[in-house]
Amino acid sequence: MLPRTVLLCALLTAGLSAAVRADYFSFDLTSPGRVDFPAWIPQRPVAAAKDHAELALPIIPGPADTDLVLTVVFREEPGSFLAVYWQDRDGRRQLLCANLFENINLPNQRTLLINRPELGGPGKLILQSSERVLNILRVRIDWARPGVVRLVDGIPNGALITTGDKIYSPEEVDGTPLTPVADSWQGVTLLTSISERAERIEHGTAFPVALAAKVNRARVEVLVNGLPLDGAIRLWLNGRLVGNLAVEVPDLNDPGYSRDGSFVGWRKATVMLPPGLLTVGDNTFQFEGPANLPLAIRDFLVQVTYAAH
């Protein structure tokens, strides 16, 4: 069997660098060079400078049983947007996502799942900025067969599994504004969402959590953006230091990695709370990152198992 190969190339005229394989295509808009395109990208992507800058990616859809997965790494700008459209061969545009930005004013990345029936025949993926510049760092396109995983006990939920075994819920990749994770019970264990949106935390944002009864075990999970790969994020609970959270190191195929080894995007951080720190009634959580470093969180979850009565 022939080994799989990855061709690392770059596009000089458009300032794109790329990796090409049959089922995915990724490129870096910040690096010069020449690019070899897969057969399903029949023409060179075009970046148009206008009042609303655009990047057009011509696409010939793959087999009917594969969906298109688009991941965009970008720099957010306050009050701006980065929209995604599908444009068919007749020039008609369908809005897929009105704004990839999450209003955190940090480098970021988002993933969209575009169902194969939405594409129809050949067309173009259009990324449109509200500014004269795109603010796009890297783009990755995958052809994927979404699996079905059991996200909630007894309820099968469609989920997208990408390179590096990243699993997204449908709500994360459908292009709609991100919403808090829904509360769920499994027996006497409650998983509850504390944050309502992505927000900056470097100035000591406090998150109140009220508990109605004593708990036996408690776990904290949060997504963090802006933390260096060698950085640490600490948790304070009711004015006491809990300690450092364990932060995931993303798969090396993640498009969030830049050439200098830094990473852009959300990373999961978790910690088990020592017994007795949570009290019945009001509790206050605070996250602390490296000094003077812009930092954001979202999907702040607390999981608790209540004591048996």
* Residue position matching structure tokens 């020039």: 91
Please check whether residue 290 is in contact with residue 231, taking contact to mean a CB–CB distance below 8 angstroms: yes
Q: With bands split at pLDDT 50, 70 and 90, how would you rate the model's confidence at 309?
A: low
pTM recorded for the entire structure? 0.86
Q: Give me the CATH topology for the region 7-144.
A: Jelly Rolls (2.60.120)
- pLDDT at residue 294 above 70? yes
**Does residue 3 carry a pLDDT above 50?**
no
Q: Please report, in angstroms and rounded to a whole number, the separation of the first and last CA atoms in the chain.
A: 61
- Residues 192, 109, 98, CA angle at the centre, nearest 5°? 85
Tokens of 114: 């575009």
Interval 266-280: pLDDT, tens: 999 999 998 889 999
What distance in Å separates the CA atoms of residue 73 and residue 104, rounded to the nearest whole number? 14
| ∠ CA 115-163-170, rounded to 5° | 40
According to DSSP, the residues that pair with 278 across neighbouring strands are none
Closest CA to 250 of 100, 157, 140, 153: 140
Which pair of structure tokens corresponds to residue 167?
């699993």
**Is it true that 7-144 and 184-306 share their CATH fold?**
yes
Q: 84 or 307: whose pLDDT is higher?
A: 84
Q: Which residues pair with 46 in a beta bridge?
A: 56
At 120 the pLDDT is 87
Q: How far apart are CA 4 and CA 156, in angstroms?
A: 33
In terms of C-beta distances under 8 Å and separation of at least 24 residues, what long-range contacts does 153-161 make, across chains too?
153/186, 160/69, 160/111, 160/113
Q: Which residues contact 14 (CB under 8 A, 6 or more apart)?
A: 29, 35, 44, 45, 46, 47
Q: How confident is the model over 104-147, as pLDDT tens digits?
A: 999 999 999 998 888 989 999 999 999 988 899 999 998 887 66
Residue whose token pair is 């608790």: 304
Class of domain 184-306: mainly beta
Q: Are 293 and 198 a contacting pair, CB within 8 Å?
A: no
pLDDT in tens, 201-254: 999 999 999 998 999 999 999 999 999 999 999 999 999 999 999 999 999 989
Every domain of the chain and the residues it spans: 7-144, 184-306
The residue with tokens 């959300």 is 266
Give the pLDDT score at 158.
58
Closest Cα partner for 18 from 33, 5, 4, 3?
33
Element (DSSP H or E) covering residue 137: strand 136-144
How far is it, in rounded angstroms, from Cα 126 to Cα 92? 11
